[in-house]
Amino acid sequence: MSEQVRRVAVIGAGISGLATLRNLLSLDRKYIPTCFERGSDVGGVWLYNENTHTDEYGMPVFSSIYRDLVSNLPKLMMEFPDFPNTDPDTDSSFMHREDVMNYIKRYADHHDLGKFIRTHTYVTNVCPNSEERFPEWTVSYYDVRNKEPQQDVFHAVFVCTGHQHTPYIPDIEGVKEFQGEIIHSKNYRIPERFTNKRVVILGASFSGTDLALGISPYAKQIFLSHIKERLKSVFPENIIEKPGIKRMTRTSVVFLDDTEEEVDVLLFCTGYSYNFPFLSDDVINVNGNKVMPLYKHVVNVKHPNLFFVGILELVPYFLLANVSSKFAVAVLNGDISLPSQTEMQESVEEDFENRKKRGDKPHAFIDNEKIWEYERDLSKLVGIQPSPIVLKLIRAFLIYDVTHNVTSFRQKKN
């Protein structure tokens, strides 16, 4: 296979796409990649856009980054292993979105990746040209500025579009009757818009608590609604924890404990659903938060020259993008021999069954140890050193710190 593969498509120039380009180009230019990026620059989800629904070209806005966002991972985990973040202007352990974006652009410039990236380019379809295990792929796309359709043929495809562009909106009784504002965190940009508003936020994971704290200085009242155990952190006085939402009325929210509160805004912090609209169900099956069948969450079992880099959740994205893309490129190059199709399918099913027993989501890691176990597994297959154990210890402490000090855990210096 490695002798035949030459032209490679990479969809997305975010963290995963750039890591993939870097690892493809490290093989003495053996592969000729073309990266399709629908934004105006590299960065993927980190490319801030003050628009919330459509951009200046009438295209859906894919970024979910808001103006005041600060990373919830320390600087040490927000870098690629081969490119330390040595910017002297970022003295905090937790970087503002602009600092993250500057680092990503420096990485792309350092490795001269720009010449392989087509910005403003929207991929509409990725289709295998045959039923073979390793087909060629026709990629259809257009420039968002002129909408002129084009297509090219590639020997392999890397899907690096991430998982934060299709909001998950739960079905709530009475929500259509609610006369207030309804938004998802994907479309949140600035807290000032909630001045003197009574806001109910559904979801108390990272985005839910972050937005509650950001909105708190402006809002009249915030109800942080979730079905977890009561959070251990101390919140500002105008943030009140509530159980999940039972139903909405025209002007209020009724919680699972049957208490009722008048609200002006319903803000969903409920995460995202996987969505690859350019791939047919014959190629990949997407069911909410489950993408099937992917061996090691990377290799398409049916067509092993179709790879997915960056679909994992709740992980250090730079580190996992690096090792996942190295694994994918090694498979493409024939440096790693895959099990049979049947064995890979069995492995996928066993992995999902184990996750179900642990209470994990299909592509997420709740248990800190499991993240590093996965990273060690891929590192061993690729033949590189896994991340130092100190990163696992730092993340374990971070989980504790976020749980107990959500209002202050970022207030640390390097």
pLDDT band at 176 (very low <50, low <70, confident <90, very high): very high
360: domain CATH number is: 3.50.50.60
Where does a domain end: 247, 268, 289? 268
The answer to whether 289 and 276 have CB atoms below 8 angstroms apart is no
pLDDT for 172: 97
The answer to whether 213 and 406 have CB atoms below 8 angstroms apart is yes
pLDDT band at 16 (very low <50, low <70, confident <90, very high): very high
pLDDT digits (tens, 9 = 90+) for 275-299: 999 999 999 999 878 999 999 999 9
Where does a domain end: 268, 284, 313? 268
pLDDT for 95: 93
The answer to whether residue 90 scores a pLDDT higher than 80 is no
pLDDT for 89: 66
pLDDT for 289: 86
pLDDT for 144: 96
Same domain as 284, residue 332: yes
The answer to whether residue 136 scores a pLDDT higher than 80 is yes
Distance, CA of 240 to CA of 282 (rounded, Å): 46
Domain count, the chain: 2
| Residue 136 amino acid letter | E
pLDDT for 64: 92
Same domain as 147, residue 181: no
**Residue 411 belongs to a domain:** no
Distance, CA of 363 to CA of 352 (rounded, Å): 9
| Residue 20 amino acid letter | T
The answer to whether residue 4 scores a pLDDT higher than 60 is no
* Mean pLDDT along residues 197-215: 96
pLDDT for 230: 92
Where does a domain end: 232, 252, 268? 268
* Mean pLDDT along residues 183-190: 97
Same domain as 214, residue 281: no
pLDDT digits (tens, 9 = 90+) for 50-85: 999 999 999 989 899 999 999 999 999 999 999 998
The answer to whether residue 3 scores a pLDDT higher than 60 is no
pLDDT for 265: 98
Q: Which residues pair with 199 in a beta bridge?
A: 222, 265
The answer to whether residue 5 scores a pLDDT higher than 50 is no
**Residue 406 belongs to a domain:** no
**Close Cβ partners of 198 (under 8 Å, ≥ 6 residues apart):** 219, 220, 221, 222, 223, 261, 262, 263, 264, 265
Helix (H, G, I), strand (E, B) or coil at 236: coil
pLDDT for 1: 44
Same domain as 339, residue 209: no
Rounded to 10 degrees, the C-alpha dihedral 341/347/352/354 comes to 170
**Residue 342 belongs to a domain:** yes
pLDDT band at 87 (very low <50, low <70, confident <90, very high): confident
Longest CA–CA span in the chain (Å) reads 66
Same domain as 30, residue 146: yes
Domain that holds residue 79: 7-166+272-401
**Residue 410 belongs to a domain:** no
pLDDT for 164: 86
Same domain as 141, residue 21: yes
**Residue 396 belongs to a domain:** yes
**Residue 251 belongs to a domain:** yes
Same domain as 145, residue 20: yes
The answer to whether residue 27 scores a pLDDT higher than 90 is no
pLDDT, mean over the chain: 94
* Mean pLDDT along residues 312-324: 95
Distance, CA of 409 to CA of 405 (rounded, Å): 6
pLDDT for 215: 98
Token pair, residue 301, equals: 């079992």
pLDDT for 122: 97
Question: ∠ CA 351-377-7 to the nearest 5 degrees?
Answer: 95
Same domain as 288, residue 396: yes
**Residue 407 belongs to a domain:** no
